[in-house]
Amino acid sequence: MQLQQKKTNNDSSLPVPTSIQLETPMKAFKKLYLIFILIGGIALAFGGPVGILFGIVIGWAAAYLTLQGISGFKLMKLNFKDYPLPHPVTDAQLYEHLSSLTLHPDFNLEQGVWGTRLIFKNMTAHKIQIDQKKQTYSIISKLTKKNLVKRRHNPGVTEYSFAFTAVPIIKQLVDEASASLSESISSSAKASN
């Protein structure tokens, strides 16, 4: 997350956050399209031009499904990863401390019966799931419902790209909120003694 300096009339500079650039972790796998299309075209070349065309379509479909499967598997690994919680915190406390932090404009903070979640670029919802027994938390990412319909092409790759970019930032925010909570508890404990 980089900050730009914006000059105003009175010569003071205000930091203006730039938009967070998406990382493309699945870029290396895009070669699967070329490989599968070539294999499909060559495999069905005995059928003449129609066979080659049919093989190309089958190769493209196989590459598309393979890419969705790989990104889905990587997203599941990212979603089910447990991060240690430095200090015990509840959903309400986490929401309170996250709302006191200055969030990047690409993030919106929400709280409901599901707990605390951050919306990244109005595209993906990242729910923070706290496990009190293990003192860990997980960040569960998924496309928002409207984008699940609007972005039908490569939904798995899109969802994984957004999650891959947002999860480290959200992890840092949760760690900062938990640390500020532990500092406030320790300072109130010292004041009571």
Q: Is the pLDDT of residue 24 over 50?
A: yes
85-to-81, 88, 171 alpha-carbon distances in Å: 13, 7, 10
Q: What local confidence, expressed as pLDDT, does residue 11 receive?
A: 43
Write out pLDDT tens, residues 116-156: 999 998 889 999 999 989 989 999 998 887 777 777 778 88
Q: What local confidence, expressed as pLDDT, does residue 59 receive?
A: 94
- The reported pTM is 0.79
Write out pLDDT tens, residues 49-74: 899 999 999 999 999 999 999 999 99
Q: Which residue has the tokens 């914006």?
A: 6
Distance CA 142, CA 104 (A): 19
Distance CA 108, CA 1 (A): 16
Q: Indicate the domain borders of the chain.
A: 28-79, 81-193
Q: What local confidence, expressed as pLDDT, does residue 55 receive?
A: 93
Distance CA 191, CA 193 (A): 5
